[in-house]
Structure 1
Amino acid sequence: MADATEAARSDVQADVALKAKHRKMWALGDYPTLAGELIPELGTTLVEACGVGDGDKVLDIAAGTGNAAIPAARAGADVTASDLTPELLEAGRQQAGKQGVELEWREADAEALPFGDGEFDTVMSCVGVMFAPHHEATAGELLRVCRPGGTVGLLNWTPEGFIGQMFAAMKPYAPPPPPGAKPPPLWGKEEHVRALLGDEVTDLEMRRQTVRVDRFDRPEAFRDYFKAVYGPTIAVYRNIADSPDRVAELDQALAELAREHGGGSGSSGMEWEYLLVTARRSG
């Protein structure tokens, strides 16, 4: 019995440490600028797909700076934006204030949400919950807090798309994932999402779409931008900072990836693929 108690305590401590690491990673760089400059339209895309309207009670999980939460509030919904990282919430709060939009900002772990069963009409996440390490726990929570008949909406990067391929390129240079953690881009695979949601949903619809990113005039510009502002990329480079050869390898890999996806001089921009998911909560 003592051994089991000690093991449980150790698991809790490991989870607390993991979440602290994730919180710190997403506070690195300048994700608010990235979201605003590269993918501002994705939140509105998700809100429209969910059919969010006046008076709906909406939860945006792993909301970051409110890329989807703010458009949902603008549509007349009663919105709660939750995220693990307080720095992102504060940036979102400031952005909402500038736009004259009111919503609640709440620090929360996507794997242990502090909300009641069936509390929300719509539960959504825009390139957010995919980064929580334990997919089954996250899926269970987002389903739990959605009322029967309510809407679940997700927008996630696909493994085959540009961002999924970027994570694949960075993986050999990153620390090993903790036990039980799964790669974020799996949330962009139809069969994985179908297995996670299971018979807890009906009317499941999934379609792949792209967002055009034409900010970068050369591959190296993309690489250097992400090295400066994107938390996961910054964290990977810090992991190999004492190995110049590995840094050079990753530099080359990211620039080549951007070149392959149309991020070079004279191109019309890159198309970043994502999976858009909507479903109805069973019951």
Structure 2
Amino acid sequence: MSQLIERVEADRALKTKHKALWSLGDYPAVAAEVIPATGPRLVEACGIRAGQRVLDVAAGSGNAAIPAALAGADVVASDLTPDLLDAGRRLAEERGATLQWQEADAEALPYGDAEFDVVMSCVGVMFAPHHQAGADELVRVCRPGGTLGLLSWTPEGFIGQMFATLKPYAPPPPPGAQPPPLWGDEAHVRLLLGDRVKDVDARKEMLTVDRFGSPEEMREFFKRAYGPTIAVYRSIADDAAKVEALDRALADLAADHFGPDGTTMEWEYLLLTATRQ
């Protein structure tokens, strides 16, 4: 019993840490200024239409949930971080979208079995630490014959490589936590979902990012707006040599992903849809 209590308390502490992480900086600015096309792309791939009941898991500020609502669906946007939900409510009101916003843990969703026609996540559930638990919940709340849709950064793409660059400077992850970009590996996601889905369609696509005029501008934006980057820099703030080395590594990585015109970047993601058995 004591071990169970310890696990529950450790998980609660981890989720509290995740809430704080995604409250850092300005993730809604990342969603709106850097990756706005990802949400509508996922909505399109899922074939979301009027009358469907849709759940967006780890919805953030509604990058996919708001377009789904504007398509006429009955949408619930769930996320662990209340600050992101508050930002999403404001954005939805500005865009004339009506949907529900609910604080929820992607690994323990407060919804009934088979409750939704579409269950999706746009670079969201990939950041839940325990991948199988998150996948099990996605499948559980989707009705038989319903659609699962996931858009996730690949390990080989820019964001996946950024996490690899940050890793040597970051504190060790908690026991059992898995790297987020694994959700961008088709084989990994197929293993998570197993035989509970059929008609899997997985494709790698590129997001064109034209927000930054230089590698250094990209790095500085992520240092002030993106929670995971901010957290790593805070952990090494007392070591000037490490800060300088990480600054250089991130700028070099960004430079490698700028196109010949020097104004656009190409970020790879995995777009996967499937039908619940």
TM-score by length of 2: 0.99
Kindly indicate whether the alpha-carbon contact (under 8 Å) linking 1:155 and 1:277 is maintained by their aligned counterparts in 2. Answer: yes
Tell me how far apart the structure 2 counterparts of residues 191 and 106 of structure 1 sit (CA, whole Å). 31
Q: Equivalent of 1:122, from 118, 121, 140? A: 118
Tell me how far apart the structure 2 counterparts of residues 140 and 238 of structure 1 sit (CA, whole Å). 33
**How far apart are residue 24 of structure 1 and its match?**
0.2
Q: Equivalent of 1:262, from 258, 271, 274? A: 258
1:150 aligns to 2:151 (yes or no)? no
Give the aligned residue type for 2:252: E
Give the aligned residue type for 1:196: L
Tell me how far apart the structure 2 counterparts of residues 261 and 252 of structure 1 sit (CA, whole Å). 15
Structure 2 alignment gaps of length 5 or more: none
SS in 2 for 1:147: strand
Alignment of 1:1-150 (within 5 A): 5-150=1-146
1:189 aligns to 2:189 (yes or no)? no
SS in 2 for 1:180: coil
1:205 aligns to 2:187 (yes or no)? no
**How far apart are residue 128 of structure 1 and its match?**
0.2
1:276 aligns to 2:271 (yes or no)? yes
**How far apart are residue 268 of structure 1 and its match?**
4.1
Tell me how far apart the structure 2 counterparts of residues 107 and 217 of structure 1 sit (CA, whole Å). 36
Identity of aligned residues (%): 66
**How far apart are residue 181 of structure 1 and its match?**
0.6
Tell me how far apart the structure 1 counterparts of residues 79 and 134 of structure 2 sit (CA, whole Å). 13
Kindly indicate whether the alpha-carbon contact (under 8 Å) linking 1:81 and 1:103 is maintained by their aligned counterparts in 2. Answer: yes
Give the aligned residue type for 2:182: L
Tell me how far apart the structure 2 counterparts of residues 82 and 95 of structure 1 sit (CA, whole Å). 15
SS in 1 for 2:106: coil
SS in 2 for 1:207: strand
Kindly indicate whether the alpha-carbon contact (under 8 Å) linking 1:219 and 1:263 is maintained by their aligned counterparts in 2. Answer: no
**How far apart are residue 179 of structure 1 and its match?**
0.8
**Residues 202-243 of structure 1: CA distance to partner in whole angstroms, max 9, x if unpaired?**
000100001111221111111101001000000000011111
SS in 2 for 1:82: strand
SS in 1 for 2:20: helix
SS in 2 for 1:151: strand
Kindly indicate whether the alpha-carbon contact (under 8 Å) linking 1:222 and 1:263 is maintained by their aligned counterparts in 2. Answer: no
CA separation of 1:256/1:263 partners in 2, compared to 1, >3 Å: closer, same or farther?
farther
Tell me how far apart the structure 2 counterparts of residues 89 and 102 of structure 1 sit (CA, whole Å). 14
Kindly indicate whether the alpha-carbon contact (under 8 Å) linking 2:42 and 2:122 is maintained by their aligned counterparts in 1. Answer: yes
Kindly indicate whether the alpha-carbon contact (under 8 Å) linking 1:204 and 1:277 is maintained by their aligned counterparts in 2. Answer: yes
**How far apart are residue 34 of structure 1 and its match?**
1.2
Tell me how far apart the structure 2 counterparts of residues 38 and 223 of structure 1 sit (CA, whole Å). 13
Count of aligned residue pairs for this structure pair: 277
Give the aligned residue type for 2:37: E
Give the aligned residue type for 1:271: E
Tell me how far apart the structure 1 counterparts of residues 272 and 57 of structure 2 sit (CA, whole Å). 15
**What is the Cα-based RMSD across aligned positions, in Å?**
0.9
SS in 1 for 2:152: strand
Q: Which runs of 4+ in 1 moved over 2 A?
A: none
Structure 1 alignment gaps of length 5 or more: none
Tell me how far apart the structure 2 counterparts of residues 179 and 200 of structure 1 sit (CA, whole Å). 27
